[in-house]
Amino acid sequence: MRIGELSRVTGVPVPTIKYYLREGLLPPGELSSPNQASYDEPHVRRLRLIRALVDLGQVPIAQVKNIVEGLDSKTLPLHEQIGRAHYAITRPRQLSTSSEEPSYAAAEAQVTDLIARRGWTIHAEAPALTTLTETIAALRSLGQDNLVGHLDAYADAVEAFAELEISAVTSPAPDGAARTPDAVAESVVIGTILGETLIASLRLLAQESLSAQGWR
């Protein structure tokens, strides 16, 4: 297809597509004449992934480039390819819990212990490690230690979520096609971000309902 049709199919304006081509986020089309290029299904998928990262994930273009380079690599394992996108959409929370606070060291020890106990394989620089530590430290310093005691109940549930989610993104597409790294990355980005909102809003509703039924 020509660039105009690529734009119609994906909803991405032509000047934006040209910008992605210049930045090397989108591979060049096949030249059908000296000044006409033709685009294909992989371009459609790549554009959908870029939009998910930029629009939903608010990932800066330089980082998007790093992610798509990983996906185009012939040597990087899928875990590392997808991991780049996964880390990029982990937005830092502004908890501003200082690592100097006494509750911070206790929280760090609790997180290390949790990961060891559950046998989780986590990179030492995973951004979610810092977020989890800061959150536990904040709960403790605000005198709300009760929730921290239920860490394993939460961990049980998220493990079950993660199993569902990983099988959802790696199972064949509805049309039976195996999933390319681009398609898996797109599902991971959308599923991680929107799944978080899904869980958060369901949790608020369950809290409201239990409160309505028990506290009246």
Alpha helix stretches (DSSP H) within the chain:
3-10, 14-23, 41-51, 61-72, 78-88, 102-118, 127-141, 151-170, 181-214
What part of residues 40-59 is at the interface with its own copies (CB under 8 A)? 52
Interface characters, 2-41, with its own copies (x: CB under 8 A) = ----------------------------------------
Q: Mapping DSSP to helix (H, G, I), strand (E, B) and coil, where does residue 53 land?
A: helix
Q: Mapping DSSP to helix (H, G, I), strand (E, B) and coil, where does residue 144 land?
A: coil
- 116 forms part of the interface with its own copies (CB under 8 A): no
Interface characters, 133-172, with its own copies (x: CB under 8 A) = --xx-xx--x-x-xx-xxx-xxx-xxxxxxxxxx-xx-x-
Q: Based on CB atoms, which residue is closest to its own copies, 31 or 210? A: 210
What part of residues 78-97 is at the interface with its own copies (CB under 8 A)? 78-79, 82-83, 86, 90, 93, 95
Buried b / exposed e along 188-202 (16+ C-beta atoms within 10 A):
bbbbbbebeeeeeee
For its own copies, which residue of 33, 35, 75, 121 counts as binding (CB under 8 A)? Answer: 121
Please, what is the minimum distance in Å from the beta carbon of residue 185 to its own copies?
12
Q: How far apart are CA 211 and CA 216, in angstroms?
A: 8
Provide the sign of the torsion angle of the four alpha carbons 51, 78, 180, 193, taken in this order. Answer: negative
Count of residues near its own copies by CB under 8 A: 76
Q: Based on CB atoms, which residue is closest to its own copies, 109 or 204? A: 204
- 203 forms part of the interface with its own copies (CB under 8 A): yes
Q: Based on CB atoms, which residue is closest to its own copies, 38 or 110? A: 110
**DSSP letter string over 57-88?**
T---HHHHHHHHHHHH-SSS-HHHHHHHHHHH
Q: Are 18 and 11 in contact (CB under 8 A)?
A: no
- 117 forms part of the interface with its own copies (CB under 8 A): no
Please, what is the minimum distance in Å from the beta carbon of residue 22 to its own copies?
26
